[in-house]
């Protein structure tokens, strides 16, 4: 019997979210659920100039498992980190220009620039690299029929061409049909290329090429290639 890889990955993702709940609660957090650093160029040294304005650091940051997010936001001119999976908040205290720690626990957060010179990464506990995204992962985004239509088609698993899925658009998002067992999973968009299932534990990330989807990645690295 063929392995139902999508559902298997969904179960793994739920475990990752549970482990992520310990993100600020324990400095001995296991990184087994998280990928290594992304391929983006990271400038690892803190800036030597004056402190970076806090508004440059704000936004939603995605963990490597693609399903967990942290929001950095200002309140009363103080920087807070909020775990979106459980809404737990932590006040942050500035240590130097780009380094902070949680006020109560003392756990470290370092904000880093990408190759374009923008602060688009935050390193948690010195080892978990997160990446800023340009969307609100808590809010569904309305896409047009044309935008959803670009994602439709058949996809085969990159490392096992015997596994195929069919993605088709629906009124509010897309549906994946596993061709080996005909099971279906519905997803709603958070951006033009990022989707989540109903309980927020199963992420899809589409790659567009010349305006059309060329592949979709489930979780960290389950990559499916679109076929003609």
Q: 84 is written with which tokens?
A: 């979106």
- Classify residue 64 as exposed, middle or buried by CB count within 10 Å of its CB (0-12, 13-18, 19+): buried
Specify the pLDDT at position 215: 97
Number of Cβ atoms within 10 Å of the Cβ of 109: 26
Q: Which residues of the chain, if any, have pLDDT below 70? A: 1-49
* 91-138 pLDDT, tens digit each: 999 999 999 999 998 889 999 999 999 999 999 999 999 999 999 999
Going from the N-terminus, what domains does the chain have, and what CATH number goes with each? 11-133 (2.40.128.50), 140-227 (2.40.128)
Q: What is the DSSP letter of 210?
A: T
Q: Sign of the C-alpha dihedral, residues 197, 200, 201, 203?
A: positive
Q: What is the DSSP letter of 106?
A: -
Specify the pLDDT at position 87: 96
Specify the pLDDT at position 71: 98
pTM for the full predicted model: 0.80
């Amino acid at each position: 019997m063929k392995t139902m890889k999508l559902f298997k990955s969904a179960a793994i993702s739920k475990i990752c979210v549970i482990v992520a709940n310990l993100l600020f609660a324990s400095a001995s957090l296991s990184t087994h659920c998280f990928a290594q650093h992304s391929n983006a160029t990271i400038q690892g040294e803190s800036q030597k100039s004056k402190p970076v304005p806090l508004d440059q650091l704000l936004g939603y940051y995605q963990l490597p498992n693609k399903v967990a997010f942290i929001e950095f936001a200002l309140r009363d001119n103080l920087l807070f980190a909020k775990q979106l999976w459980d809404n737990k908040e932590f006040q942050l205290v500035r240590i130097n220009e780009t380094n902070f720690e949680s006020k109560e626990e003392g756990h470290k957060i370092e904000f880093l620039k990408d190759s374009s010179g923008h602060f688009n990464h935050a390193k948690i506990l010195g080892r978990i690299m997160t990446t800023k995204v340009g969307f609100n992962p808590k809010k569904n985004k309305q896409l047009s029929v044309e935008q959803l239509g670009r994602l439709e088609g058949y996809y085969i698993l990159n490392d096992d061409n015997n596994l195929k899925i069919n993605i088709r658009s629906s009124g509010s998002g897309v549906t994946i049909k596993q061709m080996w067992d005909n099971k279906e999973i519905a997803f709603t968009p958070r951006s033009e290329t990022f989707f989540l299932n109903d309980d927020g534990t199963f992420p899809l990330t589409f790659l567009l090429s010349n305006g059309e989807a060329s592949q979709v990645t489930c979780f960290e690295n389950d990559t499916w290639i679109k076929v003609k």
